[in-house]
Amino acid sequence: MVLTRTLRIEPDTTTAAMYVVGTELNVNLDRRAPPTCKYFSVQCSHTVHYRISPPAPPQEDSTLLHPLTPKSTLIVTMDAASEHAFDSKLSVQYYRDPREALGKAVLHLTAVEISLDVDADRDGVVETNNPNKGSWKWGPRGHGAILLVNCDSESTFRKSPDTEKPEINQDLKDMSRMVVRTKGPAQLPEGYLLTLHVSQTDAETIRVFRDGKQNSNSIEFSNIFSYFTRDYPLVLSADRLCQVIPYKGGVVETDFFVEGLRFPDKDFDGLVTINLSLLEPTSKLFPETPIFTDKVMFRVAPWIMTPNTLDPVEVFVCSTSDNYPFLKAMTHLAKESGCKLKVCHQFMNRNDRWMQDEMELGYIDSPHQSFPVVLDSPRGGPLTDFSYEELLGPDFGFVTRSALCKEVSSLDSFGNLEVSPPVTVHGKSYPLGRIIIGVAFPTTIHGRNMTQVVQDFLWAQKVQEPIALFSDWLAVGHVDEFMSFVPAPDRKGFRLLLASPDAAYRLFQNLQHDGHGEARLFEGVPGKKTMSVDDILSDPQLRYTNNYVQGCIDWNRDVLKKELGLEEGDIIDLPILFKMDEKNLAVAYYPDMVNMIVLGKNLGVPKPFGPQVNGQCALEAEMSALMGRLGLTCFFIDDFTSYHMKLGEVHCGSNTRRQPFSFRWWNLEL
Amino acid sequence: MVLTRTLRIEPDTTTAAMYVVGTELNVNLDRRAPPTCKYFSVQCSHTVHYRISPPAPPQEDSTLLHPLTPKSTLIVTMDAASEHAFDSKLSVQYYRDPREALGKAVLHLTAVEISLDVDADRDGVVETNNPNKGSWKWGPRGHGAILLVNCDSESTFRKSPDTEKPEINQDLKDMSRMVVRTKGPAQLPEGYLLTLHVSQTDAETIRVFRDGKQNSNSIEFSNIFSYFTRDYPLVLSADRLCQVIPYKGGVVETDFFVEGLRFPDKDFDGLVTINLSLLEPTSKLFPETPIFTDKVMFRVAPWIMTPNTLDPVEVFVCSTSDNYPFLKAMTHLAKESGCKLKVCHQFMNRNDRWMQDEMELGYIDSPHQSFPVVLDSPRGGPLTDFSYEELLGPDFGFVTRSALCKEVSSLDSFGNLEVSPPVTVHGKSYPLGRIIIGVAFPTTIHGRNMTQVVQDFLWAQKVQEPIALFSDWLAVGHVDEFMSFVPAPDRKGFRLLLASPDAAYRLFQNLQHDGHGEARLFEGVPGKKTMSVDDILSDPQLRYTNNYVQGCIDWNRDVLKKELGLEEGDIIDLPILFKMDEKNLAVAYYPDMVNMIVLGKNLGVPKPFGPQVNGQCALEAEMSALMGRLGLTCFFIDDFTSYHMKLGEVHCGSNTRRQPFSFRWWNLEL
């Protein structure tokens, strides 16, 4: 669609106007024509083109006079930028009759080429005047530029997310390049201005900086917000909705850098529009008129979680006063798996060992830049500063959400926040998987839930549509206590592992049937009373409890099958038993093997201390056999005293940063 | 997609379970089978159907034994509701080998039919179990139920919107009927419950009442919120997210009434989901488990504005100490146009005469109910109570938005809020037209704007996507000072009228040319100095001012052409001049004819007091001629002293309630 602008000309008057290449000027000829005018003729420079609407062929070939009607309109265009101001001309001669001229209206034109450009085709390069740059569409055939929340910290001393600093950061790649391209005469005609502007609503979500080293120019900015740097003055922000930008003649590109300040959330869909307008002077008494506006639309990149099927990069664990063997085993596992290991030392963790619960490691991605971003949990234990103090840094972002008015519960820990591998559900594709959280039954009045602000944040990211499971039956209440995902060479590329009391009973019954009823659990655990297989099978209360627990897990199984499009063959039941605490909430009876860390083909599994049969733990043997069929190796890690007894296991006590998806989120079809 | 539920059975044990018709029970046979089991056989009542997955044909025809594998699953269904609890049976016999039975698991089943029903096909009738009831889709082939904000007031004494009253209102049609349909045995098995529930977020936008006179039943509700009425107890609200509902045997329909509390807004997309779950008892120690959930989705109906092309129903004007002639003329016009006239008397308006500015009259619509709704402006003049006190009532709703933290400006008056007739713009259809508001140029820092909360509200309604014009060049700053729409028999069914200084100059120049330069304006206006046509044409300051004004209006003309898909032939320029006030903001030079009231084919036009030519006002003649071509009749109303001198005209001083669109908003393709 061609942009048109209404312009007026007047007999015996010269009108000066600017023209932006690609637009049309509509000049109504009747409005100002002399009262007795019946005809008109048009002359113009070779740089100017016109047509008459409605078409009015000349009356007589010799005179080139056109009849004037109330709707007679000249539609004027030019092909290229002017070399000098007002070097192009058009004139209209009015006539009463072919022999009596009434007056002449003259139009002096200056043409400029102007475009506000972004990487609307998402190839990492800012192209020129993409026709779709003003809107945003998902998918591989979609369009629209992408913006990152600049939530890393380039400085490591007195650090804070770059968005909170008054000046631009030092890493321009964290921002989206935006280019103002102009071509025209050495100067704009007097009083004309180029200005960038945003709405108040959008301005609260971005900042725009100009590359001040480029095209330095005599125009001085009275921009009090750019107090830290002259090289990259702040141009637009919540305090500055519009800003004049420099114009220089010839073919010029001026670079700007756009920074996102907020992730998508309940009240922010992530879309931001930035406008470039050419302003025409009226007089000192009136505001300048925007006679041409170009606009670009960005979408702020969502925060993305990484499932167990992605390659691990770095493992995080705490060092505490009592976990040396665990730490040693994790060090070995990380080394075997080719991962870095980062230890949070005791002076920082103050014996808060639940590395999984304090944070979730994800990333943000754009065609020009990608970096990990930690979502800090509202949990607020002694570990609370770890992600800010130790992770936030250059190309490592930080985001958090604080609960409103309400106390947080155990369900706000991020052992209760997981993500599935990519799935397709009844034809609908989730190439980045789906987020999984645990809550109370919606039919329960007094249940614990994940706090609303975190749920709102997760849902607003859109690209990994969340699923809510029922985890409030557990004392700690985290989904990682009964489920995990491991990579698989076949089927959907993964298996869902579920804790299964039924599978445990079946295994113990088989042991008893095979004459191993006397085999004992917990052998070798200091201070722990051992139990025989017979003891377990003959405990009616334990059976009752585990019937209930299996029902709870089956409920989640049905939801997961439906929401992830899984079949029974995609699920593996792991032999795990639960018992009830004094509040009738479930805790693992022996180390909960499903609460594992997955590092490629290596699994760090809580050592279950199951019944010893022929010198081997029957639970380990079963686990190794089940995982071995998928080409996975179990590393059984003794976490009994330092984690299991404190109601967590290996997964609760660790965290993993993973490679991002090769699939880019903007290629989703939403 | 069939809902499946995992169920377990155990050898030598009878399991009782409920089954909801239309779902599938998945029974894994291996989980609990005796350790040495190799085969199984299945028997069941004729009311029960099963299949085996993966398919396992009997080993030997004579024995009907199937081989047991780790994945062996029975898929159980039933066709119809049970007559008595647990009247259907299925048993699985386990075998070591065909001659050695190991034990038998027995399943007792009670089937019920349950559905939560709404008018998902939007025909005004609640159908049974619409397959699309759980989601919402726009368009004539769309689906999903509709909810009204119950913003009228059934009581007229001590009134308030019905949503603010603790009890149900007396007009059930203001709410959406929702039906729980059940079929089954006389009682649910012990401990099973039916419950309605919503999320916390959704609960803040609705209330649900039950028809308590229906199916009255021995179940007693401890619902402290239904303190006003026993007939329609409050079931769900922000304080009550789930509620057990009564079950009665046989074929039963229980009616509920759902009420919307909030219009769509920046933080509310208008969608609300309500769930019905069947809960299974576990034990006193654990919460009941939802074993079946049905859900319905509503969208809250948007507030819709009515353009001038819709038939008028009622006209509103103020009676003041000085406007008797105006009131008399308006009375005549309303009568001629077949409209009611409602006068707001002086004791209420306290001489605030700007009826247009205090409120905008629109409506809400659903398949079962529609009524007018007044949007009260945040303007807050002496008229501020009119819409609440005089309009809010049975089937007349009220909604308002209060500005946050900021003082309101003149641009918050609703003379600055209009709506176009239906248009199609480059193939995109707007069958309810587009809302039009006036703001400052986005490139101006110190301009006046419409307050953000009202803008957010207007944009959130979605069905009449707003357009922002530039009106801050006017002293009062309202779009109705330079534009209006009138019905037309041809083209798009309407014309856009624009104030045009150029058209005025052209008319005056023609008068001068025809020898009427001495004709005088303002003749007959008490205390007003007359002006001749020659005076006007020779005033360079006036010409300068009107050049600027024409530029401002042309800017809006270009926006309106683009955003409404208009051509020049759709626009009529009216001869109107402006002058500048002491702040260099524009006011009409003579009564601003575009600021008219449109009542069908009759137009109430401010009497312009233009130059008298041959005993007739030349401006009236021009206006009558232009409108007459469209079959419209101008009634020129003298508003000079009582409105024009106070910077308003006929439109500013009146308001019109119109018939709703015949097009229903949910048929939009958004």
DSSP state letters, A135-158: S-B-STT-B-EEE-B--S-S-SSS
Q: What is the per-residue pLDDT for A353?
A: 97
Could you say which DSSP state residue B648 is in?
-
With an 8 Å Cβ cutoff, are A3 and B562 in contact? yes
Tens digit of each residue's pLDDT (9 = 90 or more) over A172-230: 999 999 999 999 999 999 999 999 999 999 999 999 999 987 755 444 444 444 434 56
Q: What is the per-residue pLDDT for A381?
A: 83
Residue A379 near chain B (CB below 8 Å): no
Q: What percent of chain B has pLDDT over 90?
A: 86
Q: Is B480 a catalytic residue?
A: yes
Q: What is the per-residue pLDDT for B628?
A: 98
A54 cis-preceded (ω within 30 degrees of 0)? yes
Q: What is the per-residue pLDDT for B216?
A: 53
With an 8 Å Cβ cutoff, are A443 and B195 in contact? yes
Contact list, A36 vs chain B (CB under 8 Å): 513
B505-523: average pLDDT: 95
**Minimal Cβ distance to A275: which of B5, B442, B503:** B442
A38-55: average pLDDT: 94
Q: What is the per-residue pLDDT for B71?
A: 86
Contact list, B283 vs chain A (CB under 8 Å): 548
Contact B246, B217 (CB under 8 A): yes
**pLDDT over threshold 90, residue B355:** yes
Residues of chain A numbered 123-182 and touching chain B (CB < 8 Å): none
Residue of chain A nearest B567, judged by CA positions: A71
**C-alpha torsion B661→B665→B669→B670, nearest 10:** 120
Contact list, A562 vs chain B (CB under 8 Å): 1, 3-4
Tens digit of each residue's pLDDT (9 = 90 or more) over B584-634: 999 999 999 999 999 999 999 999 999 999 999 999 999 999 999 999 999
Token output for A55:
């078409």
Q: What is the per-residue pLDDT for B634?
A: 98
Distance from CA of B349 to the nearest CA of A (A): 35
List of E strands, A431-570: 435-439, 467-470, 483-487, 494-500, 520-521, 531-532
Q: What percent of chain A has pLDDT over 70?
A: 96
Tens digit of each residue's pLDDT (9 = 90 or more) over A101-130: 999 999 999 999 999 999 999 999 999 999
Rounded alpha-carbon distances, angstroms, from residue B209 to A398, B170, B232, B263 = 45, 12, 6, 19
Query: H/E element holding B562?
Result: helix B540-564
The residue type found at A184 is G
- Confidence category of residue A453, pLDDT binned at 50, 70, 90: very high
Q: What is the per-residue pLDDT for B222?
A: 46
Q: What is the per-residue pLDDT for B35?
A: 85
Half-sphere exposure (Cβ direction) of B644: Cα atoms closer than 13 Å: 24
The residue type found at B31 is R
With an 8 Å Cβ cutoff, are B506 and A35 in contact? yes
Q: What is the per-residue pLDDT for B458?
A: 98
Active-site residue (options: B357, B376, B412, B638): B357
Residues of chain B numbered 1-40 and touching chain A (CB < 8 Å): 1, 3-8, 26, 28, 30-36
With an 8 Å Cβ cutoff, are A557 and B286 in contact? no
The residue type found at A573 is D
Mutate: best of B23, B31, B424, B443, partner A, most A CBs <10 A? B443
Token output for B524:
């007959």
Contact list, A576 vs chain B (CB under 8 Å): none
Residue B201 near chain A (CB below 8 Å): yes
B197: how many CB neighbours lie within 10 A of its CB? 27
Query: H/E element holding A343?
Result: strand A340-344
Q: Quick one: how far is CA A338 from the chain centroid?
A: 28
Q: Which residues contact A134 (CB under 8 A, 6 or more apart)?
A: A273, A294, A295, A296, A297
A452-478: average pLDDT: 96
A80-86: average pLDDT: 94
Residue A285 near chain B (CB below 8 Å): yes
Token output for B574:
């009216």
Token output for A467:
């699923």
State the ipTM, two decimals.
0.91
Q: What is the per-residue pLDDT for B157?
A: 81
Size of interface A-B (CB pairs under 8 A): 168
**pLDDT over threshold 80, residue B94:** yes
**pLDDT over threshold 70, residue B444:** yes
Q: What is the per-residue pLDDT for A133?
A: 97
Could you say which DSSP state residue A481 is in?
G
d(CA A49, CA A39): 20
**pLDDT over threshold 60, residue A259:** yes
Residue B614 near chain A (CB below 8 Å): no
- Strand-pairing partners, residue A468, are A437
Burial of residue A99 (CB within 10 Å: 0-12, 13-18, 19+) is exposed
The residue type found at A159 is K
- For the four alpha carbons of A80, A81, A87 and A89, in that order, the dihedral sign comes to positive
Residue A509 near chain B (CB below 8 Å): yes
Of the listed ranges A155-169, A602-616, A626-640, the least confidently predicted one is: A155-169
DSSP H helical ranges for A377-532: 386, 452-460, 501-513
Residue of chain A nearest B584, judged by CA positions: A285
- Confidence category of residue B486, pLDDT binned at 50, 70, 90: very high
With an 8 Å Cβ cutoff, are B32 and A502 in contact? yes
**Minimal Cβ distance to B426: which of A1, A30, A557:** A1
Of the listed ranges A157-161, A358-362, A396-400, the least confidently predicted one is: A157-161
B405: how many CB neighbours lie within 10 A of its CB? 6
Residue B404 near chain A (CB below 8 Å): no
Contact B587, B619 (CB under 8 A): no
With an 8 Å Cβ cutoff, are A513 and B279 in contact? no
Contact list, A547 vs chain B (CB under 8 Å): 8
Q: What is the per-residue pLDDT for A254?
A: 95
Contact A441, A470 (CB under 8 A): yes
Distance from CA of B269 to the nearest CA of A (A): 10
Q: What percent of chain B has pLDDT over 70?
A: 96
Nearest of B26, B79, B599 to residue B333 by alpha carbon? B599
Q: What is the per-residue pLDDT for B63?
A: 66
Contacts 24+ apart (CB under 8 A), B442-445: B442/A197, B442/A199, B442/A241, B442/A242, B442/A275, B442/A277, B442/A290, B443/A195, B443/A197, B443/A242, B443/A277, B443/A279, B443/A287, B443/A288, B443/A290, B444/A242, B444/A287, B444/B472, B445/A241, B445/A242
Nearest of A420, A374, A434 to residue A400 by alpha carbon? A374
How big is chain A by its Cα radius of gyration, in Å? 34
Whole-prediction pTM: 0.93
**Minimal Cβ distance to B548: which of A199, A282, A562:** A282
Q: Which residue has the higher pLDDT, B536 or B216?
A: B536
The residue type found at B178 is M
Residue of chain B nearest A451, judged by CA positions: B200
Q: Quick one: how far is CA B121 from the chain centroid?
A: 17
Contact list, B71 vs chain A (CB under 8 Å): 568-569
A60-69: average pLDDT: 80
B13: how many CB neighbours lie within 10 A of its CB? 13
B200-222: average pLDDT: 76
Q: What is the per-residue pLDDT for B584?
A: 92
Nearest of A5, A128, A187, A13 to residue A78 by alpha carbon? A5
Contact list, A3 vs chain B (CB under 8 Å): 562
Q: What is the per-residue pLDDT for B348?
A: 92
- Confidence category of residue B388, pLDDT binned at 50, 70, 90: very high
Residues of chain B numbered 565-584 and touching chain A (CB < 8 Å): 568-569, 573, 584
A589: how many CB neighbours lie within 10 A of its CB? 22
**pLDDT over threshold 50, residue B224:** no
Residue A267 near chain B (CB below 8 Å): yes
List of E strands, A193-306: 193-197, 206-210, 234-236, 242-245, 250-260, 271-280, 289-300, 304-305
Please identify which residue in the block is written with the tokens 């080293």: A213
Active-site residue (options: B202, B480, B592, B638): B480
Biggest CA–CA distance in chain A, Å, is 124
A253-275: average pLDDT: 96
Residue of chain A nearest B287, judged by CA positions: A444
CA-angle at A267, arms to A266 and A268, nearest 5°: 100
Q: What is the per-residue pLDDT for B316?
A: 98
Residue of chain B nearest A278, judged by CA positions: B443
Q: What percent of chain A has pLDDT over 90?
A: 86
Q: What is the per-residue pLDDT for A216?
A: 53
d(CA A146, CA B575): 48
Contact list, A34 vs chain B (CB under 8 Å): 509
Distance from CA of B4 to the nearest CA of A (A): 7
Please identify which residue in the block is written with the tokens 């409050």: B234
Contact list, A290 vs chain B (CB under 8 Å): 441-443, 555
Tens digit of each residue's pLDDT (9 = 90 or more) over A341-371: 999 999 999 999 999 999 999 999 999 999 9
B54 cis-preceded (ω within 30 degrees of 0)? yes
Q: Is B197 a catalytic residue?
A: no
**Residue positions of A annotated with a catalytic role:** 357, 478, 480, 652
